[in-house]
Chain A
Amino acid sequence: MAQIDPVKKSSPLLIAFAWLIVIVPTAWGLKYTVQNAMKLFTASTPAVAAPAK
């Protein structure tokens, strides 16, 4: 019987780790940008009185 040479496939964990390496800094930067962008919707609205403590 002929032997089939097994092909070693890339581990799904390795793929997930590679994506994490680029997603984590992107998400960190996106958080700052979204916070900045939110100022467009909050800065123009009249200031709301701070709730009494």
Chain B
Amino acid sequence: MALAFLDRDHSIAPAGYSRWLVPPAALAIHLSIGQVYAFSVFKNPLLALHGADGSTWNLKAVGYIFSIAIAFLGISAALFGAWLEKAGPRRAMFYAAVCFGFGFIIASFGASSHQLWLIYLGYGIVGGIGLGLGYISPVSTLIKWFPDRPGLATGLAIMGFGGGAMIGGPLANNLMAYYKAAGQPSIPYTMITMGILYFIFMMFGVFTIRVPQDGWKPEGWVPSTKHSALISSHNVSVQEAWKTPQFWLLWVMLFVNVTAGIGILEQAAPMIQDLFKGGVSPTAAVGFVGLLSIFNMAGRFFWASTSDFIGRKGTYFVFFTLGPILYFVLPLTRQDYLNSVPLFVGIAVVLLSMYGGGFATIPAYLKDLFGGYNVSAIHGRLLTAWSAAGIIGPLIVNGILDHYVLNKMPKEDAYPLILHIMCGLLVVGFLANLMVRPVAERFWLKDKNIVVPAGAAH
């Protein structure tokens, strides 16, 4: 069979293969697909393009490109998760690279011929499928290589998704400037170059990733017999997992955590300028957004690795107790109350670290509850919470802001309402986390013929 080298059987690690080669493979994928968070750098250049008839695109229409990509991330992660468990991470990563790279190429034709539907199809749909496949592909493999530190391992990879924007933003800006200076069509050429570069970079991940042999364990590691009752020694299949209350409780937790984070991210630059009128320049506001990106990325690694010590429930307990307090206090730092920019910035970066931490800790939480057997597929289905939050979060934020602007009320008065709604949502997350109990025995995988330990099912 063509492309047989992508099969799971061809990617089983030989004896002596270092597990420390696996996180760079996963990072290569996540650092690439994380570019989606930097798509906004294309917005103004796309708005400035003119069709043959002189027509231009509006902001709303261009904004749909990102929304379609994120929607297809969730859809493809949910649809292909079960397939990925059978096909293995290498094949999934390969298809992710093809979709993500080819998506850029299709979008470049859309930009050069001024046809927005081609950009929707390329970057949004085809690229979005690449995002979903790439996002979930290394998760269960990492968990199997690092049974002693699953939070650290998945945190490392998902940190890459946060870091992807840091690479994608300046890369696109530099390429566009280069092609513009060379007198070439800057957006199409930039998209083609990025498609090729990301494809090559993701291929490094494809060829480096290995799955451990069945029964593999880290040298000298003995699974602890004393652990939280939430850490299951049984496995639950994806078909059963989403019938459990635990799946839906985690879905709610991810949904509220992401929605709350969007409350800040969606309007970060205008928010800090509106709350401190004249105190924060537009340039400083850009700096604030940069600082949020750093903490969003760092939080993914910090909180996920901390969860290996304090437990996943404990980590989310911190998010959902500290989070509501900070969301409540955040608007009180504004000019007409405490008037403290450093306090506002300090609170916002902690909140954004917990936003990233929520993404990075959830795979290990799933592994604790449902075992490692189908964790990628279950994770894929859980990511629909992200897609839902990506729609609901901006609706809340922009809906309230529009209402204030339309009724000629001071815009800065809208932020306390928005942030206090986010505070309330996190309280719902707190209750959901509190209700998480071990998965009932009736959902456990009972087929004795299925080999379940460390290396099974990719």
Binding site for B on A (CB under 8 A): 7-10, 14-15, 18-19, 21-22, 25-26, 28-30, 32-44
Contacts and interface: CB of A to CB of B under 8 A. Distances in A.
A39 to B, nearest CB: 3
A34 B16 CA distance: 39
Interface in B1-50: 14-18, 20-21, 24-25, 27-28, 31
A29 B18 contact: no
Contacts of B27: 22, 26
A26 B163 CA distance: 7
A9 B287 contact: no
Given A10-B16, A15-B21, A29 B166 contact: yes
Contact of A21 (B204, B294, B345): B204
Given A22-B28, A26-B163, A33-B166, A44 B279 contact: yes
A38 to B, nearest CB: 6
A39 B287 contact: yes
Contact of A22 (B20, B160, B166): B160
Interface of B: 14-18, 20-21, 24-25, 27-28, 31, 160, 163, 165-171, 201, 204, 208, 279-281, 283-291, 293-294, 341, 345
B283 A39 contact: yes
Given A8-B14, A26-B167, A43-B284, A33 B21 contact: no
Q: What secondary structure prevails in chain B residues at the interface with A?
A: helix
Nearest to A6: B16
B16 A7 contact: yes
A30 B18 CA distance: 28
Contacts of A42: 287
Given A8-B14, A21-B204, A37 B28 contact: no
A8 B16 contact: yes
B203 to A, nearest CB: 11
B145 to A, nearest CB: 13
3 closest cross-chain pairs (CB), A and B: A40-B287, A29-B166, A39-B287
26 contacts: A7-B15, A8-B15, A9-B18, A10-B16, A10-B17, A15-B20, A18-B24, A18-B25, A19-B24, A22-B28, A25-B31, A26-B31, A26-B160, A29-B171, A30-B166, A30-B294, A32-B170, A33-B169, A34-B290, A36-B286, A36-B289, A37-B287, A37-B288, A37-B294, A38-B287, A44-B341
Contacts of A26: 27, 31, 160, 163, 166-167
| Residue of A28, A37, A42, A44 ringed by the most chain B CB atoms within 10 A | A37
Contacts of A14: 21
A8 B294 CA distance: 39
Nearest to A40: B287
Contacts of A37: 287-288, 290-291, 294
B277 to A, nearest CB: 13
Residue from A8, A29, A41 with most neighbouring chain B CB atoms (10 Å) = A29
B293 A33 contact: yes
A36 to B, nearest CB: 3
Contacts of B31: 22, 25-26
Interface centre among A7, A18, A21, A41 (most CB of B within 10 A): A18
A29 B163 contact: yes
Contacts of B24: 18-19, 21-22
A51 B281 CA distance: 24
B250 to A, nearest CB: 29
A10 B28 contact: no
Contacts of B25: 18
B144 to A, nearest CB: 17
